[in-house]
């Protein structure tokens, strides 16, 4: 028992080498970063009355398609019509007075100063009349473009104040995609070498080309920088892109580090003790652990490795947590 208890246990080495899968590290020319994005309306507007009053008609509902010039809401116009009638009467009276004064001036029965005063009064009356006509137009809200009613904020017979939002309409066709980018990407958005693409969840196998439309250079809420892309070359007859569709925006930037390589995320070995490593298969089919410095993710399944691996190295991508230094392996996909 003493001999057995004090004896050193020996691990039985496997007679067959462990099977692993490998990839060949490749140099990185471009890095693709994916961002969750959403298509947004090209044209969207909140509409309101310029004057206060009581609504008498709201002939629309949420989701209704409207044509340009269609009535969206209308105020009770009786008070404004009375103002128009009064302003029209005052304008005609001022015009009549001026005409009579000009005839009298021809016979020197009135001074030129009196005529000039009547001309000024006519101008004021005309301005008041035109303003009252504008107020009458402002009792109606019409669609400024063909669109869809996104939301109605009021009901009929409700009293609204001047400038209070009544309805919001949007253009149903979208060529704009918005997302939020981190600080490290913002500096590269305006570079001519940066490329963009968009993949919609509705068409997972289709990549739409895009160009930068706008982006914010400051972030007040520390949640990222809003970015807008514009889709180009979209076949509207085949792909109906509307506001609110989920998608993935790809920002493709050149990799400045010429020694950087691309590897699958499954190749990274991160033990409990910390650090990032990969297993490199040598020419003798033995694995050797390499400490690596990681860069930016590439899509959702790959990553840039800045140091520790050279282009052309065979790197294990399956079974990385079951290997030991110098162990002989059998590469399945060699």
In tens, the pLDDT along 182-228 reads: 887 888 887 888 899 999 999 988 999 999 998 887 776 667 889 99
Residue 99 CA to residue 298 CA, distance in Å, equals 82
Determine whether 51 is exposed, middle or buried from the number of CB atoms within 10 Å of its CB (0-12, 13-18, 19+): middle
Q: Which residue has the tokens 């009196």?
A: 114
Q: Extract the tokens encoding 29.
A: 């020319």
Residue 94 CA to residue 122 CA, distance in Å, equals 5
The predicted-structure confidence for 15-64, as pLDDT tens digits, reads as follows 678 888 999 988 887 888 889 999 998 888 999 999 899 999 999 999 89
Determine whether 155 is exposed, middle or buried from the number of CB atoms within 10 Å of its CB (0-12, 13-18, 19+): exposed
Whether the pLDDT of residue 312 is over 50: the answer is: yes
The predicted-structure confidence for 291-306, as pLDDT tens digits, reads as follows 999 887 776 788 889 8
User: What pLDDT does 222 receive?
Assistant: 64
**Which domains are delineated in the chain?**
16-29+258-331 (2.40.420.20), 32-42+174-254 (2.40.30.170), 43-75+139-172 (2.40.50.100), 77-136 (1.10.287.470)
Residue 157 CA to residue 15 CA, distance in Å, equals 88
DSSP letter for each residue of 54-103: EEEE----TT-EE-TT-EEEEE--HHHHHHHHHHHHHHHHHHHHHHHHHH
pTM for the whole thing? 0.57
Residue 10 CA to residue 13 CA, distance in Å, equals 9
**Contact in structure between 317 and 21 (CB atoms under 8 Å):** yes
User: What pLDDT does 9 receive?
Assistant: 44
Whether the pLDDT of residue 2 is over 60: the answer is: no
Whether the pLDDT of residue 7 is over 80: the answer is: no
The predicted-structure confidence for 92-143, as pLDDT tens digits, reads as follows 999 999 998 888 888 888 888 888 898 999 999 999 999 888 888 889 999 9
Q: For the residues 77-106, what does the mean pLDDT come to?
A: 90
**Contact in structure between 260 and 25 (CB atoms under 8 Å):** no
Residue 147 CA to residue 43 CA, distance in Å, equals 9
The tally of CA atoms less than 13 A away on the side-chain side of residue 316 is 29
44 closest CA partner among 236, 212, 154, 172: 172
User: What pLDDT does 93 receive?
Assistant: 92
Determine whether 196 is exposed, middle or buried from the number of CB atoms within 10 Å of its CB (0-12, 13-18, 19+): buried
191 closest CA partner among 212, 161, 167: 212
Q: Which residue has the tokens 């007859």?
A: 237
Q: Extract the tokens encoding 30.
A: 């471009």
User: What pLDDT does 224 receive?
Assistant: 82
User: What pLDDT does 5 receive?
Assistant: 47
């Amino acid at each position: 028992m003493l001999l057995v208890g004090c004896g050193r246990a020996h691990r039985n080495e496997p007679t067959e080498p462990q099977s692993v899968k490998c990839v060949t590290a490749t140099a990185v020319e471009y890095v693709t970063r994916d961002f969750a994005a959403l298509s947004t309306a090209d044209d969207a507007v909140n509409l309101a009355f310029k004057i206060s009053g009581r609504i008498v008609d709201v002939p629309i509902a949420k989701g209704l398609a409207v044509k340009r010039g269609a009535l969206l809401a209308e105020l009770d116009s009786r008070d404004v019509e009375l103002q128009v009638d009064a302003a029209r009467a005052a304008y005609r009276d001022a015009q009549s007075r001026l005409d009579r004064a000009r005839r009298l001036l021809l016979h020197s029965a009135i001074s030129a100063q009196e005529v000039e005063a009547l001309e000024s009064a006519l101008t004021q009356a005309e301005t008041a009349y035109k303003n009252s006509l504008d107020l009458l137009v402002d009792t109606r809200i019409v669609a400024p473009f063909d669109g869809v009613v996104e939301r109605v904020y009021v009901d009929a017979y409700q009293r609204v104040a001047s400038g209070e939002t009544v309805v919001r309409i949007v253009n149903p066709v979208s060529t704009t995609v918005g997302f939020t980018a981190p600080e490290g990407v913002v500096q590269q958005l305006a570079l001519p070498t940066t490329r963009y693409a968009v993949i919609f969840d509705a068409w997972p196998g289709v990549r739409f080309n895009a160009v930068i439309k706008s982006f914010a250079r400051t972030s007040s809420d520390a949640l990222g920088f809003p970015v807008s892309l514009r889709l180009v070359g979209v076949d509207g007859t085949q792909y109906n892109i509307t506001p609110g569709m989920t998608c993935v925006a790809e920002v493709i930037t050149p990799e400045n580090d010429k020694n950087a390589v691309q590897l699958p995320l499954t190749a990274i070995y991160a033990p409990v003790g910390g650090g990032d490593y990969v297993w490199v298969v040598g020419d003798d089919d033995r694995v050797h652990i390499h400490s690596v410095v990681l860069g930016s993710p590439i899509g959702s399944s790959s990553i840039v490795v800045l140091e520790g691996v050279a282009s052309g190295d065979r790197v294990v991508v399956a079974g990385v947590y079951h290997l030991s230094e110098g162990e002989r392996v059998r590469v399945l996909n060699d």
